[in-house]
Amino acid sequence: MTALFWVIKVLTTGMGETASDFLAHTIAPPVAVGLGGLGFAAALVLQFRVRRYLAGVYWLAVIMVSVFGTMAADVLHVGLGVPYLVSTVGFAIALAAILVVWYASERTLSIHSITTPRRECFYWATVLATFALGTAAGDLTAMTFGWGYLLSGVIFAVAIAVPALAFRIGRLNAVAAFWAAYVITRPLGASFADWMGVSHERGGLGLGTGPVTAAWAVLIVVLVGYLAVTRADTEPTAFSGRSGR
């Protein structure tokens, strides 16, 4: 994966976090969740209909997974009163279960082997679980542990370097390193986005969730547009089936 992939991934996690909060405070929460679910479903239908990797389509799906995954995690805590520690553990178990079933069925968890609709179903289920887990984990550190958003972001920035270094020195294989880093991108981006958006009283910069969402969305559009034009994230060897992303 290119460095730009990880930059865009972190941006989508932050934008999904603030977009979810903005919608929940602007319109009725049930309506916001319903709209998020419809957007999530529509983006996935579009992704499954294309027969090759298209940067705009792929990242639209990731964005909608980010928004809806955030809403799913928030509903458990805000709507149902489930503690962040419980939801974090629950989502971690759900993610582990998806990965176990995926590996038992396909004998691989590599994103470069996603050449069939079934494997792509496993992939997006895993992605949704990582977003929900990351959301709960980020709120756990920021709110339950009392670390705040900025400190949480710094800690997750350090944490994401661990699988990268472990891979570089040969202590962790590429697939495990990828998914470990992928999970951490969620609380990393969300923590910094929340820090920028929330009020000074909550330890943030007070820029507002709406402006932060818009600013991060512009960055995403520019970077994804660059990928769409240059195809800088496309591997030299073309896949014979579906996208390897």
Extract the residue ranges of the chain whose pLDDT is less than 70: 1, 235-245
pTM of the model as a whole: 0.88
CB-CB contact of 180 with 173 (8 Å): no
pLDDT at residue 237 in the model = 35
pLDDT at residue 52 in the model = 84
pLDDT at residue 175 in the model = 92
